[in-house]
Structure 1
Amino acid sequence: MTGNDGKPMVARPAVAQGETPGVVEGMADGQQSQESGRPQDAAESRRTKSLRPSSAGADGERTRRRSRRLPDATDEIIIGALADDARTGITEIAGMANVSRATAYNRIKRLTDDGVIRGYSVVADHARMGLGVTALVLISGSQPDWRANREVLSSYPEVEYCWYVVGSADIVLLVRVADTDQLRDLILTRLQALPGVTATQTLTVIDEVVHRPVVRPED
């Protein structure tokens, strides 16, 4: 079809009543451009984005690798100083590790954030506190009941350590009491009355030869 000037006329889509001509024309132009291959449709755009490598996974893996890093020689010096005396000042620790105060502080913070240093405690002489009897109590029994017994064992003030183990026993307790009467009461009255307990064996400590607050790996 040609106009009065002899030039070909371009057909435009009909505009319904109430529609905005610019919007309709824009849609038509967009459709024409898509058919010509210039713009990228939404589905193809999503496919392209999904093929791009994600930096989040790589960053997460790098973070996990950093968190799994074992303490180095400088870290071990710092840990050893705090294990020997938790009151050791940052200046003294920096001198022992041959690093600056800022480096020593940052190392302690990182070791704490990573869970390597879990806290600072006092090493007490239990005998001088009136707890002259130390014993290991091995407990055997029905394993389905151990989960329910965890809170009960944790509530006993005589228990210093409680381990769930694999072997001839199921649980090992390190207990400290004033005398053998208190030890007998703990074992016969309370421990053997726990659900699932079938047997106990008591090993009384006669001498504490080694007590290391921190065990350091060999080089």
Structure 2
Amino acid sequence: MDVVDRKIIAILQAEGRIKMAELSERVGLSPTPCARRVAMLEEAGVISGYSAKVDQAKLGLPVTIFVEVELDNQSTDALQAFERAISKFDQVMECYLMTGTRDILLRVVAKDLSDFDRFLEERLMRVSGIRNTRSSFTLRTMIARRALPRI
């Protein structure tokens, strides 16, 4: 990956719908070689997809909750079972395997506190293997970067 590839990535992270002609002009290539580079970045998995950025509050999901999960067992089978179960829950936006005192960190969205309570009781706490959970509600987002830093 060279400087031009990094420029392409930076521009696409900020403007995913940019036309190839404009992208090629901004990175200093003609459209065909630029399109080839984008295709190679996609094939290599560096660019893993394109999506719209949406405002979760405007979609009726203004509450963000971070849920720390401690499992009974951290074996490979237990982690895989937890991952399979949690992947079915649309409210879980991100799920991380962690180091430290908690095994899993979830980022969950909800309409309100009652909606989150239903999620906990009817979905999350029915997943086998959970020993303990701890939830923290966000008050406001201070920084939310979607583009990775340039390296």
Q: TM-score scaled by structure 1?
A: 0.64
Q: 2:34 matched to which residue of 1?
A: 104
Preserved contact between residue 110 and residue 116 of structure 2 (Cα < 8 Å) = yes
In the TM superposition, residue 167 of structure 1 has moved relative to its aligned partner by: 1.5
* Bigger relative contact order (CA 8 A; separation at least 6): 2
Q: Select the residue among 121, 125, 138 that pairs with 2:55.
A: 125
The DSSP-based 3-state class of the residue aligned with 2:141 is coil
Give the distance between the partners of 2:142 and 2:22, measured in 1 at CA: 29
Q: 2:90 matched to which residue of 1?
A: 157
Give the distance between the partners of 2:131 and 2:15, measured in 1 at CA: 42
Q: 2:123 matched to which residue of 1?
A: 190
2:138 pairs with 1:208:
no
Computing the radius of gyration from Cα coordinates, the structure with the larger value is: 1
Give the distance between the partners of 1:161 and 1:190, measured in 2 at CA: 16
Q: For this pair of structures, how many residues does the alignment match?
A: 148
Give the distance between the partners of 1:184 and 1:106, measured in 2 at CA: 49
In the TM superposition, residue 83 of structure 1 has moved relative to its aligned partner by: 1.3
Give the distance between the partners of 2:2 and 2:143, measured in 1 at CA: 25
More strand by share: 2
Q: 1:116 matched to which residue of 2?
A: 46
2:14 pairs with 1:77:
no
In the TM superposition, residue 160 of structure 1 has moved relative to its aligned partner by: 0.8
The DSSP-based 3-state class of the residue aligned with 1:192 is helix
More helix by share: 1
The DSSP-based 3-state class of the residue aligned with 1:115 is coil
Q: Percent sequence identity over matched residues? A: 26
Q: CA RMSD in A?
A: 1.4
Q: 1:143 matched to which residue of 2?
A: 74
Unaligned runs of 5+ in 2: none
Preserved contact between residue 192 and residue 199 of structure 1 (Cα < 8 Å) = no
Q: Select the residue among 73, 91, 94 that pairs with 2:21.
A: 91
Give the distance between the partners of 1:188 and 1:126, measured in 2 at CA: 23
